[in-house]
A = this chain, B = another copy of it.
Amino acid sequence: MKLSAKVEYGVRAMAVLAFYYQSGPFPLRKIAEQENISLKFLEHIFFKLRTSGLIFSMRGTRGGYMLSRPPAEINIGDIVRAVEGPITPVDCLSENGTDPCCHRKEGCLTRQVWEKLRDKINDVLDDVSLYELIDFKSTHIK
**Residue positions of A touching B, CB distance < 8 A:** 1-3, 8, 11-12, 15, 36, 76, 80, 84, 87-92, 100-101, 106-107, 109-110, 112-114, 116-117, 120-121, 123-125, 128, 133-134, 136-137, 140-141
Given A117-B121, A121-B121, A124-B117, verify A80-B136 contact (CB < 8 Å).
no
Interface majority SS (helix, strand, loop, mixed), chain A: helix
Cβ–Cβ < 8 Å partners of A123 in chain B: 120
**Is B1 a contact of A87 with CB atoms below 8 Å?**
yes
What's the nearest-Cβ distance from chain B to residue A78, in Å?
A: 13
Q: How far is the CA of A133 from the CA of B109 in the complex (A)?
A: 6
- Give this chain's copy count: 2
A100 adjacent to B3 (CB under 8 Å):
no
Q: A109-B15, A137-B109 are in contact. Are A2 and B90 (CB under 8 A)?
A: yes
A89 to chain B minimum Cβ distance, whole angstroms, is 5
